[in-house]
Amino acid sequence: MILSVTIVVFIYKRFPNLKMSKVMPWIYLLTAANFTRTQVETGEALEPLNVDSTIFTMDMVLSYFGYVLGIRYFFVRSKQW
């Protein structure tokens, strides 16, 4: 996750005219859609095996917030916000 945030920050820093306050809602939405899709597909794969996916679900939620808030934390204090 730290590597992902670092890559996103590095890429967006290369475009100083881009307003991150306008991009962040898209990052929130598309990241949530991706994490939800991953959760559903993993749940479907684990269901026949009778594996409890509670820990995986909690990890996905924490990862989502860590990812989007990590990006936001870096840019909210910059001129790009």
pLDDT of residue 45 exceeding 90, the answer is yes
Residues 6+ apart with CB under 8 A from 9: 71, 74, 75
- Joined tokens for residue 39: 């959760």
Q: Comparing 19-23, 37-41, 62-66, which segment has the lowest mean pLDDT?
A: 19-23
DSSP class of residue 78 equals S
The model's pLDDT over 7-28, given as tens digits with 9 standing for 90+, comes to: 999 999 899 898 999 999 999 9
Residue 23: the pLDDT is: 92
pTM of the model as a whole: 0.83
Q: Whose CA is closest to 1, among 42, 61, 77, 43?
A: 61
Compute the distance between CA of residue 65 and CA of residue 71 in angstroms, rounded to an integer.
Answer: 10
Compute the distance between CA of residue 24 and CA of residue 29 in angstroms, rounded to an integer.
Answer: 9
Banded model confidence at residue 70, pLDDT cuts 50, 70, 90: very high
Banded model confidence at residue 2, pLDDT cuts 50, 70, 90: confident
Residue that has been written with the tokens 């990006």 in this structure: 71
